A and B are shown apart, each in its own frame.
Chain A
Amino acid sequence: MLAWTIYISFAGALIAALLPKDKPVFARWFALTVATAGMAISIAGYAAGMGQGRLTIIDAPWVPSMGIHYLLMADGISRVLVLLTGIAAVAGILFSWNVELRVNQFFAFYLALIGGVYGVFLNGDLFLLFVFYEIAIVPKYFLISIWGSTRRQYGAMKLALYSFVGSAMVLIGLLAAYTTSGSHSTVLTDLAHAGLPANFQMWCFPLVFVGFAILAGMWPFHTWAPTGHVAAPTAASMLLAGVVMKLGAYGCLRVGIGLFPRGLDPWGFSLLGIGSWRDVFAWLAVIGIVYGALVALAQTDFKFVIGYSSVSHMGFVLLGLMTLNQIGVDGAVLQMFSHGVIAGLLFAIVGRVVYDRTHTRQFAELETMHLARRLPFAAWTFVFAAVASMGMPGFSGFVAELQVLVGAWRVNPAWTTVSGIGIIVGVAYIWRALQKAFFTDALPTAHELESEQARRFPPITWPEIAGVILLGACTLAVGIYPRILLDQIEPAVKSLLAGGAQ
């Protein structure tokens, strides 16, 4: 059943491209219908998968002579991420209701991107996973470069090239693993069973891991993320932060750790306390957490704050993966979901609710606008999202980050200690942004009041309210009752850690 999420998205993309250009309303409703259907399928698939392990959805030989299968399967991790994709897709369309330029093409690229993302999350064959992974690159480029804002062509090209370099590394790893295992099959379980030699895993693991981690925003390969997020139109930055960065993290987990578990073994020597690839990547993740937060603290552009906060939050995902223990990896997967929802909400507020009305994202200008009074809806939703992003108990981010930190403590308390600094700075940058954008101290001057009267903001529209409710409800629900996701994540992580991808 879950496979239909892929098919309807691609079919939807094709039809959207052929829809008449001059009827934007039609294209919007069509895209919303397709995305909602996808979300409904993902929810139904999630519910049906409760208490079940890994389910094969479809297994057909694709290229029999090379052992490539069209194999779609879903375990708990996949189902959680498919659910996230369904939600993010609907929210993204709700927040791009006001796109007026080439609407049918916009939604065609959008749905193609969504289809690729669903495809990656539901994959059981490394070759097929790579195919879907690359399908997702091209629509991103066009979404950003056509409908984006600040330095959009630069941001889009940078993003496309970073993604393509990352996927080239993955492709090299894929070819190497395929031929080393005897060129029989590209199915993940077959490759994991093939007994790849430890010294092979030792160099192939970092190659593939870094290839995927580029898209997950790992420091120092994160620089595409802030520029790409800022340049992207609202819906695209929601998807980028919400699901596309998760593609990278998912690849790290499923392919990197699942296929090359021996690559994480100690090297046999240690340098400055770093004795394995695990230490290397964990420290890069920790640096990402702190660095992202510190840079976010110094931004003058509202959207850059959120862009760098994504780097910081994705650092938790990578750190969680590198703990290699149950609670840490659980936390990482939960953090993928949590960050997907929260970052989506933050980008929606900054990019759609605020920017499309004020036409500026500079704090210096926003400070003069007294948005708390003029856009109370935006202000209070942002307070809500900010609190969720800081990791307050009761919101999804708290559960996820706590688990990651506990898992990290068990391996190396230093990781947790340093990441803690990142959390504290995280409170600071989000608080600073909140204060500068919405709650300035200065009273409005007479001149400002006059211009406010002259130029009123357009009222908040229903799609915005619907989108905020959807995303807000998700983060609250997971925060209050995390078992709703953990029940599926835990068994899947357990089996993945127990035997690689076997």
Chain B
Amino acid sequence: MNFAALFRATLPETILEIAALIVLVVDLGFLRKAAMPARIAAAALVGIAGCAIALWAVTIAVPYRWASDLLLAAGGSAEVAQLAILILTLLTLLLLIGSEFTRNPGEYVSVVLMAAAGGLLISAAQDLIVIFTGLELLSLSLYILTAFAKKSGKSAEAAVKYYIFGAMSAAFLLFGFSYLYGISGSTNLRWIVQESYFPSVSGGAPLLYVAFAMIATGLGFKVAAVPFHSWAPDTYEGAPIPSATFIASVSKVASFALLISISVALAHGFGADNQVRLVFLNLGPATQLAGPQAKWGLILAVLSVASMIVGNLAALVQSSVRRLLAYSAIAHAGYILLGLAFFSTSSLSAEAILYYIVTYGLTTVGAFGVVGVVERATGSDKMDAFLGLQKRNPMLAAALLVLFLSLAGIPPLVGFWAKFNLFAAVLRVSAGVVPFTLVALAVAFSAVSLYYYLQVLKRAYVMPATDDSPIRAHPATFAVLLAITAAVVVLGCFPTLLQGWMASFYPAP
């Protein structure tokens, strides 16, 4: 075993873990007697420094192989996702400064960093064992983060729900993994896919279906796809705001990066060299959706349609903005799953999906930032807490306007471009009646989504305030929100900035 290579491949995760330990030492060792705001700021800053160093480490990471099997990928989708995870974690930590929900900032930040390390691991993982380890690291940290507001009953309730659902789904995932191992005799994604093409196994295709369905259950829970979504509204509502932000952004990016890895493996298992083997075995002409990819695609398409419909319709009747964001997250997961269901062999789909999830994560961090400020001032996350926001804090209201319109997909904001790009990718991969109908459905439901985003904006801008007292945001929070809002506008007007940057991580076609 080459430990030097392993160390180099896992350097970003290692840095985050070291930073997590330093946070504990600084907070519990040096600053135990210091004032609470100073402790929170110090813990967050150490965490931010850790993220910043890890960002650098990601850029020099190399793939790690065990014998000839790829365990950890580097470059491409993995690198984009890892950079995004670190940046979003960094922003979440910046938003933490100025919040006061816990008396243990050191522990909180160190758990956040460990969760981020889990996220980095699953974005790069190409092996079932590594995937499961990373996923558990991420999930267990998230359960703790959800329960962190110790005095809040809601927080505890949310954590228990999240934990029970999570444990169940992990069991399903593991069950599916065991089938895959049984079918292929390998834990490596590429090998599994290649083995599952052969007739001897295709004869046992039902087993493969079961395995895929189990895995989709496990990962569907992580991305909150219907029907595995019911934890999301409660967790988004009950968790402390920074934890909810983290779950809604970082954890989503990591989980979708993992789904991209699986889809890439499936698409490439059907790539050039294997096609030759198929023709040799007289299996007839290859079509776009054949073999395991078709099964996987079908399962994802079903989840996608269910998520779009349930997410958007349930969001219409919410009165809590956090729950509204949870259901809208379910709907967005539905759009992304559509991109995964019709996945291309080139990097086209992967790029479009990453673009979507990264910009969505960024927008969501901003949206939760605004909700957090309002909630701290009014003590509620109900829609009516936003009444008259344009008077109480015009900049905050403007940020809310931009972020929510971006989530609704109004040009020229980044959310629109992400949607267009994603749907165009779906149709470019497969132009049949089915993908077209599903895209039409997705576009129709984004029209529905405007209604519930406008419900919040209506309170912020249109309806009269019941309380005129100004709302103040912490300068750090304010700066983060301003930066995110500006990014949403600029990236929407100049989509090539981010798109070109992402494309630079992929080999030229």
Residues of A within 8 A of B (CB): 17, 62-66, 105, 127, 130-131, 134-135, 137-138, 141-142, 145-146, 153, 157, 160-161, 164-165, 167-168, 171-172, 175-176, 178-180, 183
Q: A63-B499, A183-B428 are in contact. Are A175 and B416 (CB under 8 A)?
A: no
CA distance A183 to B344 in the complex (A): 15
Within 8 Å by CB of A135, from B412, B446, B461, B503, lies B412
Nearest chain A CB to B485 CB, angstrom units: 14
Classify the interface of chain A: helix, strand, loop or mixed.
helix
Q: Report the nearest B residue to A167, measured CB to CB.
A: B447
Q: For B439, list chain A residues within 8 Å (CB).
A: 172, 175
Nearest chain A CB to B349 CB, angstrom units: 13
Inter-subunit contact A65/B499 (CB<8 Å): yes
Q: A134-B410, A142-B461, A146-B461 are in contact. Are A164 and B428 (CB under 8 A)?
A: no
Is B450 part of the binding interface, using a Cβ–Cβ cutoff of 8 Å?
A: yes
Inter-subunit contact B462/A153 (CB<8 Å): yes
Inter-subunit contact A161/B451 (CB<8 Å): yes
Nearest chain A CB to B2 CB, angstrom units: 38
Inter-subunit contact B496/A63 (CB<8 Å): yes
Inter-subunit contact A66/B424 (CB<8 Å): yes
Is B267 part of the binding interface, using a Cβ–Cβ cutoff of 8 Å?
A: no
Q: Report the nearest B residue to A168, measured CB to CB.
A: B447
Q: For A172, list chain B residues within 8 Å (CB).
A: 439-440, 443-444
Q: A62-B496, A134-B411 are in contact. Are A160 and B424 (CB under 8 A)?
A: no
CA distance A188 to B353 in the complex (A): 27
CA distance A179 to B423 in the complex (A): 10
CA distance A167 to B451 in the complex (A): 14
Inter-subunit contact B431/A180 (CB<8 Å): yes
Q: A153-B462, A168-B447 are in contact. Are A175 and B503 (CB under 8 A)?
A: no
Q: For A142, list chain B residues within 8 Å (CB).
A: 461-462
Q: Mark B417-450, 1 if CB is under 8 A from A, else 0.
A: 0001101100110010000100110011011001
Q: For A161, list chain B residues within 8 Å (CB).
A: 447, 450-451
CA distance A66 to B461 in the complex (A): 36
Q: A145-B458, A161-B447, A179-B427 are in contact. Are A131 and B436 (CB under 8 A)?
A: no
Nearest chain A CB to B111 CB, angstrom units: 40
Within 8 Å by CB of B424, from A134, A138, A165, A175, lies A175
Inter-subunit contact B454/A168 (CB<8 Å): no
Q: For B423, list chain A residues within 8 Å (CB).
A: 175
Within 8 Å by CB of B411, from A63, A135, A145, lies A135
CA distance A157 to B503 in the complex (A): 39
Instruction: Please provide the 8 A-B residue pairs with the shortest distance between their CB atoms, ordered closest to farther.
Output: A179-B427, A131-B411, A168-B447, A145-B462, A164-B447, A168-B443, A172-B440, A164-B450
Q: For A183, list chain B residues within 8 Å (CB).
A: 424, 428
Is B333 part of the binding interface, using a Cβ–Cβ cutoff of 8 Å?
A: no
Q: For A176, list chain B residues within 8 Å (CB).
A: 427, 436
Within 8 Å by CB of A160, from B440, B444, B454, lies B454
Q: For A127, list chain B residues within 8 Å (CB).
A: 420
Within 8 Å by CB of B447, from A130, A165, A178, lies A165
Nearest chain A CB to B486 CB, angstrom units: 13
Q: For B254, list chain A residues within 8 Å (CB).
A: none
Nearest chain B CB to A370 CB, angstrom units: 36
Question: What are 21 pairs between A and B in contact, CB < 8 Å?
Answer: A63-B496, A64-B496, A65-B496, A105-B390, A131-B412, A134-B410, A134-B411, A137-B410, A142-B461, A145-B461, A146-B461, A146-B462, A157-B454, A164-B447, A164-B450, A167-B447, A168-B444, A168-B447, A172-B440, A178-B427, A179-B428
Q: For B76, list chain A residues within 8 Å (CB).
A: none
CA distance A71 to B458 in the complex (A): 34
Nearest chain A CB to B493 CB, angstrom units: 9
CA distance A239 to B458 in the complex (A): 22
Nearest chain B CB to A165 CB, angstrom units: 5
CA distance A180 to B424 in the complex (A): 11
Nearest chain A CB to B256 CB, angstrom units: 22
CA distance A138 to B420 in the complex (A): 19
Q: For A175, list chain B residues within 8 Å (CB).
A: 420, 423-424, 427, 439, 443
Is B291 part of the binding interface, using a Cβ–Cβ cutoff of 8 Å?
A: no
Nearest chain A CB to B502 CB, angstrom units: 11
Nearest chain B CB to A129 CB, angstrom units: 11
Q: Report the nearest B residue to A141, measured CB to CB.
A: B454
Is B495 part of the binding interface, using a Cβ–Cβ cutoff of 8 Å?
A: yes
CA distance A180 to B435 in the complex (A): 13
Q: Report the nearest B residue to A130, measured CB to CB.
A: B411
Inter-subunit contact A179/B424 (CB<8 Å): yes
Nearest chain A CB to B33 CB, angstrom units: 45
Q: Report the nearest B residue to A61, measured CB to CB.
A: B496
Nearest chain B CB to A203 CB, angstrom units: 11
Q: Report the nearest A residue to B440, measured CB to CB.
A: A172
Q: For B128, list chain A residues within 8 Å (CB).
A: none
Q: For B446, list chain A residues within 8 Å (CB).
A: 168
Q: For A153, list chain B residues within 8 Å (CB).
A: 458, 462
Q: Which of B299-353 contact A (CB under 8 A)?
A: none
CA distance A172 to B420 in the complex (A): 10
CA distance A172 to B410 in the complex (A): 15
Is B405 part of the binding interface, using a Cβ–Cβ cutoff of 8 Å?
A: yes
Q: Which of B448-506 contact A (CB under 8 A)?
A: 450-451, 454, 458, 461-462, 495-496, 499, 503
CA distance A105 to B420 in the complex (A): 30
Most-contacted residue by chain A among B420, B439, B444, B495 (CB, 10 A):
B420
CA distance A157 to B447 in the complex (A): 12
Inter-subunit contact B427/A138 (CB<8 Å): no
Nearest chain B CB to A215 CB, angstrom units: 14
Q: For B410, list chain A residues within 8 Å (CB).
A: 134-135, 137-138
CA distance A62 to B410 in the complex (A): 18
Nearest chain A CB to B37 CB, angstrom units: 32
Q: For B461, list chain A residues within 8 Å (CB).
A: 142, 145-146
Q: Report the nearest A residue to B421, measured CB to CB.
A: A66
Q: Report the nearest A residue to B435, measured CB to CB.
A: A179
CA distance A161 to B462 in the complex (A): 17
Nearest chain B CB to A277 CB, angstrom units: 19
Q: For B462, list chain A residues within 8 Å (CB).
A: 142, 145-146, 153
